[in-house]
Structure 1
């Protein structure tokens, strides 16, 4: 299976005084794309939590390469680059057409929803996300 890509359109309210997407919105965009990746490859996030697993962000690094502006379509490619025992790393690429806007890496850790203590990644999730590399 190929890398998952989610498309969204930049809204006017997401732009700053320079007329470009405010940097803080990229982590929000990432979260939207991650939820769509999860829905497409893994299934219901709510079912995963009800089954005793949750995922939290442990580290986020983004590099700003070029601006995105109001009404542009932003494609967010969500490549899963590492599947550890308790963690995974996604390397998102935000593009407007062929123009690279933002890239980086986000590390997530699987936890118990009640205690927030680390927990091993379920095999079914590992298999589902391996197809997104």
Structure 2
């Protein structure tokens, strides 16, 4: 399993009139955390795309437990619990400054060959970076 934590501050433009984060902005927060997890293992999304692999989202689930508010620093824990095959699943927990769990989410992406537009298994260059985080791969 791989797990990272990324912090971000809620900006005013991301909130509604109640100063709560507008629900549509959570997808961007999760994407930022996902991109940072990939950087942690040593590979940017840009590098993945340069190598001919796209990673479109196929499923997005989110549960809002409490609102995030303007100017709060949120901690987003991102996990990949299962070694990827043709899909990679990211699980998230978002905590407010009081360390309360305020949101949970799951985002599934699949690996797509940019040239053929066909779904492929996790490419070797990515799998080799992920393998150290699992004692065995499936």
Retained in 2: the 8 A contact 1:92–1:105? yes
Q: Distance in 2 between matches of 1:59 and 1:27?
A: 12
Is the CA contact 2:93–2:104 (under 8 Å) kept in the aligned structure 1? yes
Q: How many Å separate the matches in 2 of 1:27 and 1:20? A: 15
Matched, 1:110 2:111: yes
Partner of 1:101: 102
Between stretches 16-25 and 79-88, larger displacement belongs to 79-88
Match of 2:57 in 1: 57
Task: State the TM-score, normalized to the length of structure 1.
Answer: 0.89
Q: Which residue of 2 aligns with 1:43?
A: 43
Q: Which blocks of at least 5 consecutive residues in structure 1 are unaligned?
A: none
Q: CA deviation at 1:17?
A: 1.8
**RMSD value, Cα:** 1.9
Instruction: Please give the per-residue CA displacement for 1:95-132, whole angstroms capped at 9, x wherever unaligned.
Output: 11311111021111000123432011023423434539
| 1:80 shift after superposition | 0.5
Mark the CA change 1:123 to 1:94 in structure 2 (over 3 Å): closer, same or farther. same
Does the 8 Å CA contact 1:61/1:106 hold for their aligned counterparts?
yes
Structure 2 CA distance for aligned equivalents of residues 127 and 46 of structure 1 = 18
* Residue 31 of structure 2 is aligned to residue 15 of structure 1: no
Kept after mapping to 2: 8 A contact 1:112/1:118: yes
Higher percent of residues as strand: 1
Stretch deviating more after TM superposition (97-106 or 113-122): 113-122
Contact 1:42 1:129 (C-alpha < 8 Å) held by counterparts: no
Question: Equivalent residue for 1:90?
Answer: 90
CA–CA distance in 1 between the matches of 2:65 and 2:53?
35
Q: What is the match of residue 28 of structure 2?
A: 28
TM-score of the superposition, structure 2-length normalised?
0.86
- How many pairs align? 132
Unpaired runs of 5+ residues, structure 2, are none
